[in-house]
């Protein structure tokens, strides 16, 4: 999860033109951008493209951000938009090699499980994004709604549908981490 309070000072300094603060901010947010994009796209090169584009947009638009406290939601929205744009352009994501995720994610014990990867990949894009933002980024339904520019009830509905679909796809499996969170979330 992106610790917005931790980065608030760097965001504010970067907004004011401090190049060192901007470099530090990009270095801090890059892993989050890449992991979210990878979870959505399931292809390392496409995820890198989406993360790079999102970080470039941060660099170009940060000065226009009105409130540093809104940085986290704004940043996640940029990453999700870029990942979904790439997915729309390509429509054919290669299957994800679990070793790639293992080297890229602190959720290695979860994401290495091919059954969970396949289940996530089977979700429609909006549901997959909602699940990733909730369980990886730690966003609540209100924040997910802001990122996806939809009503909060719609975001909750996407989470509900995604959980139900994952439960049916993972029936009989009880992998740890993300899947445990899905089963325990009710």
> Which whole number is the average pLDDT over 107-114?
46
Determine the average pLDDT of the residues in 22-39. Answer: 89
pLDDT tens digit string along 118-162?
778 888 888 888 888 888 888 888 889 998 888 888 888 988 888
| Ranges in the chain annotated CATH 1.10.1740.10 | 1-94
93: pLDDT strictly greater than 50: no
Protein fold of 98-186: Arc Repressor Mutant, subunit A (1.10.10)
For CATH 1.10.10.10, the residue range(s) in the chain are 98-186
Percent of the chain scoring above 90 in pLDDT: 10
State how far the Cα of 151 lies from the Cα of 46, in Å rounded to an integer: 28
**Fold of the domain built from segment(s) 1-94:** Rna Polymerase Sigma Factor; Chain: A (1.10.1740)
Task: List pLDDT tens digits, range 59-73.
Answer: 888 888 888 788 888
- For residue 180 the two structure tokens come to 């445990």
Average pLDDT, the chain: 77
> Cβ of 70: how many Cβ atoms within 10 Å?
14
| Dihedral sign from CA coordinates of 170, 98, 106, 38 | negative
| pLDDT for the residue numbered 80 | 92
**What does the pLDDT look like over 2-26, one tens digit per residue?**
555 556 788 888 888 888 888 888 8
Once rounded to an integer, what is the mean pLDDT over residues 104-129? 67
Quote the pTM value: 0.66
């Amino acid at each position: 999860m992106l610790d917005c309070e931790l980065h608030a000072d760097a965001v504010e300094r970067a907004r004011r033109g401090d190049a060192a603060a901007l470099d530090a901010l990009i270095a801090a947010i890059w892993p989050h951008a890449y992991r979210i994009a990878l979870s959505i796209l399931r292809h390392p090169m496409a995820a890198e493209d989406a993360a790079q584009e999102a970080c470039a947009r941060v660099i170009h638009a940060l000065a226009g951000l009105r409130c540093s406290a809104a940085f986290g939601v704004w940043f996640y929205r940029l990453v999700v938009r870029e990942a979904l744009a790439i997915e729309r352009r390509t429509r054919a994501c290669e299957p994800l090699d679990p070793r790639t995720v293992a080297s890229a994610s602190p959720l290695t014990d979860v994401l290495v499980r091919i059954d969970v990867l396949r289940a996530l990949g089977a979700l429609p894009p909006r549901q997959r994004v909602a699940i990733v933002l909730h369980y990886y980024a730690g966003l609540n339904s209100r924040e997910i709604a802001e990122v996806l520019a939809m009503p909060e009830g719609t975001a909750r509905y996407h989470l509900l549908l995604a959980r139900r679909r994952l439960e049916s796809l993972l029936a009989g499996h009880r992998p740890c981490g993300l899947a445990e969170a899905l089963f325990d979330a009710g």
